[in-house]
Structure 1
Amino acid sequence: MSKKNNEVIKNENTVQAIVIADTFGDEFVPISNDIPHALLPLINKPLIDYTLEFLSLGGIEETFLFCCTHVDDIKDHINKSVKNNEVWTLTMKVNIIVSESCRSFGDCLRDLDAKGLLRGNFVLLEPGTISNIQLLPLIKKHNELTKVDKGAAMTVVFQEAGINHISRCPQEEVLIAVNSQKRILSYKKMWKNRERKVDFPLEIFLENPCVSLMHNLKDAHIAICSPSVLPLFSDNFDFQTKDDFVRGLIMNEEILGSTVYCHILKGSQYGGAVTSWRMYQALSQELRQNWIYPIVPSRKRNRALKNNVMVGEGTVFDDSTFLNNAVLGEHVSIGKNVKIEDAFVLSNCKIEDNVIITHSVVGPSCVIKAKSKVTAGSILGKGCVIEKDTFIENSLVQANEPEECGNGDKLGRKAYRLRIDDDEEEDRSIAILAKKMSRLHIQEENYESEYYSDGFSDSEADGLSYTQSPAPDDTKLFFTEVIDSLTRGFEDNLLCDNLILEINSSRYAYNVTVKEVNFNVIKAILTISLRHPIGAQYFSHLSRLLSYFAPVLKNYIRNESAMIDCLQAVEDVATSNEELKEKWVMFVLQYFYDKDYVSEDAILDWFSTLDQKGKFHTQVKPFTDWLQEAEEASSSESEGSD
């Protein structure tokens, strides 16, 4: 076989990916006016670097980066990365495709179809995608699927995530119905659904013996595609987004002859994208806590401080500066008595004395003069100059005067407030939510009001109000997530190390104390055991459960204080479940004692705090009596030997 033929075969087997670099929206205005989405710094590292690193580690050999705006900036960055021998350049080739005429995600794919660059199954990424998954097994699985179902066009990747997961985005909430082969039968975006009910076609239940309705998912913005995907976009010009494509194929399955499947990420697998400022905030948090390992922020460009703060190279600040849950870019100068909390300050900014910045984003090269305050979801574009004693709340601000500048919109010589177009309520609501810096947790009350309210209040027309309904107890939400993680781990036989990572991520998300973590983890394990009927086989099931979770127990019961937390969890479960008898209490205490999870001293100290008139005290007393008798017998034997 000739060398040329060998090269052709190699090219045909090359694992390829498509990355769309543009969002085609105004989610990141005014910063996106000067910085392309692909180069938006996330913890002082451009978004595209995270994406390319993920693809390289995932097994991709050739990537097509499709650009429509800021093309020269992106080309310069990619060329610089190649020159500097970045990690992804060692195993992957990147081709930049330019088409300034494209106005949507679908237009890009139609243009790629016309160019004929793709040769087989490929990975399709939406803008700003970050993940840590291995792609080759997914591609192989999709390839096997196409052999069984010739019409299989796409496998959409979701991540399992509870209702309060920090990176679930309201605009991306999805409800899907799938059959036992994970073929998507119904796909509904919940954001635009203003009613409390969802309709499903009756035939999906009549034609499929098993149908699962899934709402515990978030879109990973990753899809494994067959070669038919690009021609399908070309043949259907109403497909402008991936969601349009998925819904269109499902609704017209008989006509188009194509099907869509899904793959669910679990455990430590992660997939997400920076699609809004809220998601920017969430992914920043997850990267800071190493939840997307091995994808991590640059250690060379950042130093980590206490209070969940990351600081870029060349940034200086006074000892009087208060920093909490913030990211500072490179070469930022900060004066005295400055407070920066729950905020992002990009590179080359100057912050003068007595400035307060909270829940906001400050773009590159901004100057905020003394005694000013920027708060409540404000976004400052590149080069803004905020004059002394200026108060900015819930506003988009840019340095250049906009075409429509009303009274009060001029905040300074280089600071103008942008107005939101109120022509259409739906567009208005999306624009508002795109620019807000909301809390990391979607609380249930706000979840319902955001989904089902008939509209936005007058105060929201100028920017989302920062007044929120009372939040549910974060500790209870943490406990619920721990229950979900441990239950899934036991059922799917997941590694306990991965479960510990999930629990720790939930801890940071809900900001619970170490004591609350210890207590709720033990309580969750015991609560899971009670789902098994209490009968002849119960205690063998409980032993198997406790043995499986041994690494988890050892991780959280590390000292005397944690032992007390553990025993208090036993007390809480026993007193909350009246059907539990003395035998259950004795078994659990004996197990924890025999495995050295709790010491005799800890048990006796804890027992001394129990209500002597209570039923639980009576249940525990035989065990403590046994401990004391054993101690006395041991002492007697020791004295006799002397």
Structure 2
Amino acid sequence: MGAPKKSAAAAAAARVSDDPEELARVPLQAVLLADSFTTKFRPITLERPKVLLPLVNVPMIEYTLAWLESAGVEEVFVFCCAHAKQVINYLESSQWFSQPKFSVTTIESHNSVSAGDALRFIYERNVIHGDFILISGDTVSNMSLTRVLQEHKERRKKDSNAVMTMVIKRSKLSPVTQQSRLGTDELFMAIDPDTKQLLYYEENTNHLKATLSLDKMLLIDNSSIRLHNDMQDCFIDICSPEVLSLFTDNFDYQHLRRHFVKGLLVDDIMGYKIYTHEIHSSYAARVDNYRAYDTISKDIIQRWTYPLVPDVLLLGNSTTKLERVGMYRASEIVQSRSAQIGPLTVIGTGTRIGDNTKISNSVIGKGCDIGSNVLIEGCHIWDNVTIEDGCQLRHSIVCDGVVMKSGAVLSPGVVLSFKVVIGQNFTAPAYSKVSLLPQPIKQDSDEELEYADNNSDVETSCAPDNMNGELTSELSEIQGSATSELGCGGVGYIWSICEGASEEEWRHSIAPISAEKLAELTQTTDDDLEFSNQDGNAPASSGELRSDALSDSEDDDEDTKNDSAYFEKEVEATFLRAVHENVQVDHVILEVNSLKLSCNMEFSACAGAIFYSMMKLALETPHKTTDELSRAVLNIFNSWHRLLKSYLSGKDEEIEVILKFEEMCSESAKELSPLFTQILHHLYDKELISEDAILGWEFEKQGAEESDRVFVRQAENFLQWLKEASEED
């Protein structure tokens, strides 16, 4: 890539005054890209733009605009390319065009094929007059912009070459799949720990390789570098106006990260710099693929994104209420008494649910007609979908107007595009994509363009002009020509998986990784690690390289605490889902093992987290007396003792459970403290905790402060009984 020319950059700088008072009068602006320039959401995005796809029954762009308004942005320029008319029509009829202190302006272009083209087009329009927020319309966040804007402006005052600040967040990476929970690839970053300057940025697309090579000059020029493979790029950027001019001066800058960021990091001529801002308690994530779509939906339902949650972010006149265990129901629902609605589920207004139907961990849109004896697990059902009796749907996405005839089955990972009909008793194969549009023969460029121009094999004229409009006559003709692929009465085409893309299908799918695939990946990873150790090259991990000192141990301790808290919450969510859905213990063990691998935890941590989840469930069980609470605990032990026993492989793990119980009784669950000895006895009777572990716990408490021996004193009679019984034996 050539060095940036000075002309456009100088022109941009000239447009912005250096007078502080004048700068203060410039409204905070944002550029929102309403086109992701990828094909990851095909075939759906052939008919509707990605930013208008529903995320927990609300179009994605609503989350982005709601956050920008709450964060103090005053002017938003929405760049539209693919299906631009749909985006413009939606915004013009929405609430955003009537806000007094929040203006939304659409910018339309039909010739832009990348983010770089979009930013060059915006530069030509001369609408940005100061620092601005660069974001895509598929981003969900509740972070405050105050601190990151202040840091950016202070750096700009000291160094005019500080042109961008990227928002990042820690994210646990699976050592097996080398992916984050959002389905994104491992990201290597090198950051100066003192200045927060970004020095290196690289995505690891080779999932079997966990090493990286750094230019030795990077180590020579910087006395302190912190390496990360545990960071998530939130794709929220604070930019100076020079960013737009840099794209104008460099036409080979197409992609924001692969070209622009990496280009600036290796450019030694102009000296432009990129900095990072790490968020901790706030939420920020981008819907980059189907797995991220599913994960972020669950985060919204579990209220990590508050106030952007179903019962607060309302559209129209619908009313959604939060009920028990994360279940949301809208108004005017017709639900059979025998239907079972599980946790972490959203039901849209006007939906009808038949007899003996089971729905869990799913989002159901408005106006859906769901028959009897239907099983829906981990699915996203959009609006006006008809599901006849006896159907089964697992971990799938079903778009507007789809009809599933009786007995039809969706295997995990299936995507049904708009108005598809699945025939009677037909089983859609796992990871398949079905559409009324035939699969394009020609693939787009490496930018994976999501819009089809007049020369593509599938023209955009096939898509409906409005959100709920009827398909055009071209689609009507298709309905009569593709019935055999989807069984009797079925209508649509099953898209074939491109050669070499099967790996990406399951990596990006909303379906969980199968046991067979997990075992295969575990074996591959073990072999690769063994080879690396023989070679003397350990896999890269987050750490700080200093010329004079090692990394700060306090930071490591804080990271460990955060990792443990995250792991505990994930295990609790997995356990509660298993309880409410009657999941077999073997399947729960598989899920916990997957979490153990992804979070790099020990068996003792698994045992502690499972015990914590069991006690939390007992506390949430209705009870009026301590006796009723004790019976609830005993019932849970009876039902789930094999799950807990699976992670009690030795004395250390058993002692960890007792220490966890102590911690709960002292802090988060003091209601259990009077029952400490009784529950400890239950654990002993169920052969979950051995005599050696209990006496070992007592021995560890010898010499401790009296405040740490409260429960040892409470259990004195039980401990004495154990010792006497041991002597008699």
Q: Please confirm whether the aligned pair reaches a TM-score higher than 0.5, indicating the same fold.
A: yes
Kindly tell me: are residues 190 and 501 of structure 1, through their superposed partners in 2, closer, same or farther at Cα, counting changes over 3 Å?
closer
Distance 1:431 1:320 in 2: 33
Q: Which of these residues, 388, 393, 398, is aligned with residue 435 of structure 2?
A: 398
Q: Deviations over 1:87-106 (max 9, x none)?
A: xx354211111112111111
Contact 2:665 2:676 in 1 (8 A): no
Report 1:540-555 matches (<5 A): 553-555=666-668
Report 1:285-434 matches (<5 A): 285-298=298-311, 300-302=318-320, 303-304=328-329, 305-394=341-430, 395-402=432-439, 409=485, 411=487, 413-422=490-499, 425=500, 429-430=503-504, 433-434=507-508
3-state SS, counterpart of residue 285 of structure 1: helix
Q: Which of these residues, 704, 707, 715, is aligned with residue 591 of structure 1?
A: 707
More displaced 10-residue stretch of structure 1: 430-439 or 35-44: 430-439
Question: Match for 2:140: what amino acid?
Answer: I
Contact 2:418 2:435 in 1 (8 A): yes
2:199 is the alignment partner of 1:163? no
Q: Which residue of 1 aligns with 2:53?
A: 40
Q: Which residue of 2 aligns with 1:437?
A: 511
3-state SS, counterpart of residue 707 of structure 2: helix
2:575 is the alignment partner of 1:507? no
Kindly tell me: are residues 83 and 118 of structure 1, through their superposed partners in 2, closer, same or farther at Cα, counting changes over 3 Å?
closer
Deviation at 1:502, TM superposition (A): 8.6
Kindly tell me: are residues 413 and 262 of structure 1, through their superposed partners in 2, closer, same or farther at Cα, counting changes over 3 Å?
same
Distance 1:501 1:372 in 2: 37
Deviation at 1:437, TM superposition (A): 3.1
* Alignment length (residue pairs): 540
Q: Which residue of 2 aligns with 1:458?
A: none
Deviation at 1:358, TM superposition (A): 0.5
Q: Which residue of 1 aligns with 2:261?
A: 246
Q: Which of these residues, 113, 127, 139, is aligned with residue 117 of structure 1?
A: 127
More displaced 10-residue stretch of structure 1: 152-161 or 509-518: 509-518
Distance 2:100 2:343 in 1: 36
Distance 1:551 1:148 in 2: 49
Q: Which residue of 1 aligns with 2:286?
A: 273
Kindly tell me: are residues 518 and 507 of structure 1, through their superposed partners in 2, closer, same or farther at Cα, counting changes over 3 Å?
closer
Kindly tell me: are residues 164 and 606 of structure 1, through their superposed partners in 2, closer, same or farther at Cα, counting changes over 3 Å?
farther
Report 1:568-579 matches (<5 A): none
Q: Which residue of 1 aligns with 2:223?
A: 209
Contact 2:424 2:490 in 1 (8 A): no
Kindly tell me: are residues 169 and 238 of structure 1, through their superposed partners in 2, closer, same or farther at Cα, counting changes over 3 Å?
farther
Distance 2:721 2:43 in 1: 59
Deviation at 1:359, TM superposition (A): 1.2
2:196 is the alignment partner of 1:182? yes
Deviation at 1:285, TM superposition (A): 0.6
Kindly tell me: are residues 114 and 224 of structure 1, through their superposed partners in 2, closer, same or farther at Cα, counting changes over 3 Å?
same
Question: Match for 1:187: what amino acid?
Answer: Y
Contact 2:665 2:672 in 1 (8 A): no
Contact 2:169 2:234 in 1 (8 A): yes
2:278 is the alignment partner of 1:284? no
Contact 1:167 1:279 in 2 (8 A): no
Kindly tell me: are residues 119 and 406 of structure 1, through their superposed partners in 2, closer, same or farther at Cα, counting changes over 3 Å?
same
Q: Which residue of 1 aligns with 2:160?
A: 150
Q: Which residue of 2 aligns with 1:464?
A: none
Distance 1:614 1:246 in 2: 68
Deviation at 1:71, TM superposition (A): 2.0
Contact 1:518 1:562 in 2 (8 A): no
3-state SS, counterpart of residue 704 of structure 2: helix
Q: Which residue of 2 aligns with 1:223?
A: 237
Contact 1:45 1:298 in 2 (8 A): no
Distance 1:162 1:200 in 2: 23
3-state SS, counterpart of residue 97 of structure 1: strand
Question: Match for 1:437: what amino acid?
Answer: A
Q: Which residue of 2 aligns with 1:465?
A: none
Deviation at 1:221, TM superposition (A): 1.5
Kindly tell me: are residues 354 and 584 of structure 1, through their superposed partners in 2, closer, same or farther at Cα, counting changes over 3 Å?
same
Contact 1:574 1:580 in 2 (8 A): no
Deviation at 1:274, TM superposition (A): 0.7
Deviation at 1:450, TM superposition (A): 9.2
RMSD: 4.5
Gapped runs of 5+ residues in structure 1? 1-5, 455-486, 523-545, 616-642
More displaced 10-residue stretch of structure 1: 300-309 or 89-98: 300-309
3-state SS, counterpart of residue 507 of structure 1: helix
TM-score by length of 2: 0.65
More displaced 10-residue stretch of structure 1: 26-35 or 375-384: 26-35
Kindly tell me: are residues 562 and 10 of structure 1, through their superposed partners in 2, closer, same or farther at Cα, counting changes over 3 Å?
farther
Kindly tell me: are residues 73 and 614 of structure 1, through their superposed partners in 2, closer, same or farther at Cα, counting changes over 3 Å?
farther
Contact 1:385 1:414 in 2 (8 A): yes
Contact 1:270 1:292 in 2 (8 A): yes
More displaced 10-residue stretch of structure 1: 382-391 or 549-558: 549-558
Q: Deviations over 1:159-212 (max 9, x none)?
A: 112225996334342011111211111111012465342111112222222111
Q: Deviations over 1:14-44 (max 9, x none)?
A: 1111111112222111222222111110111
Report 1:527-566 matches (<5 A): 553-560=666-673, 563=676
1 or 2 for the larger relative contact order (CA 8 Å, sep ≥6)?
2
Kindly tell me: are residues 174 and 83 of structure 1, through their superposed partners in 2, closer, same or farther at Cα, counting changes over 3 Å?
closer
Q: Deviations over 1:390-431 (max 9, x none)?
A: 110221001244466999746555221012333xx4x67546
Q: Which residue of 2 aligns with 1:534?
A: none
Deviation at 1:83, TM superposition (A): 7.3
Question: Match for 2:107: what amino acid?
Answer: I
Distance 2:527 2:240 in 1: 39
Distance 1:110 1:175 in 2: 28
Distance 1:109 1:444 in 2: 41
Q: Which residue of 1 aligns with 2:249?
A: 235
Distance 2:220 2:492 in 1: 60
Q: Which residue of 1 aligns with 2:77?
A: 64
Q: Which residue of 1 aligns with 2:654?
A: none
Q: Deviations over 1:234-260 (max 9, x none)?
A: 2222222221211111122x1232111
3-state SS, counterpart of residue 359 of structure 2: strand
Distance 1:440 1:290 in 2: 28
Contact 2:43 2:434 in 1 (8 A): yes
Kindly tell me: are residues 358 and 149 of structure 1, through their superposed partners in 2, closer, same or farther at Cα, counting changes over 3 Å?
same
Deviation at 1:558, TM superposition (A): 3.2
Deviation at 1:278, TM superposition (A): 0.1
Distance 2:162 2:271 in 1: 9
Gapped runs of 5+ residues in structure 2? 1-18, 313-317, 321-327, 330-340, 442-480, 529-553, 580-606, 615-659
Question: Match for 1:228: what amino acid?
Answer: E
Distance 2:363 2:434 in 1: 20
More displaced 10-residue stretch of structure 1: 276-285 or 578-587: 578-587
Identity of aligned residues (%): 25
Kindly tell me: are residues 191 and 573 of structure 1, through their superposed partners in 2, closer, same or farther at Cα, counting changes over 3 Å?
farther
Distance 1:222 1:452 in 2: 36
TM-score by length of 1: 0.73
